[in-house]
Amino acid sequence: MQFAIVYVTAADMSEAKRIGRTLVEERLAACANCFAGMQSVYRWEGKLEEGTEAVLIAKTRSSLVEAVVERVRKLHSYAVPCVVSWPIAQANPEYLEWLEQNTQEQ
């Protein structure tokens, strides 16, 4: 079985926690970590922008990444939310077992 990390930026900590809680409640992710106070610089609609955002990091099965992306898109306030993933190459085997037990089969 393969696993992945999903990285999401959110408007604020409240949104990150709401999305993270939903992913865990629906067993799309085993765990969601939320970090407040990230400073972002980005281009949006032709203008350079700066702002404070929150970060959500979700741990899940690779087979669930597509479902996680779709769920985040539905829950998110942004028109184009950042939702990216990368595979977990190595990890504590007991942690991966826990991750498997706490996500739905796909």
Q: What is the mean pLDDT of residues 83-101?
A: 97
> Quick one: pLDDT band at residue 10, thresholds 50, 70, 90?
very high
pLDDT by residue (tens digit) across 19-59? 999 999 999 999 999 999 999 999 999 999 999 999 999 99
Q: List the domain boundaries for the chain.
A: 3-101
Confidence check: pLDDT of 97 > 70: yes
Confidence check: pLDDT of 106 > 90: no
Residue-level pLDDT at 1 = 79
3-101 CATH:
3.30.70.120
> What pairs with residue 40 in β-bridges?
51
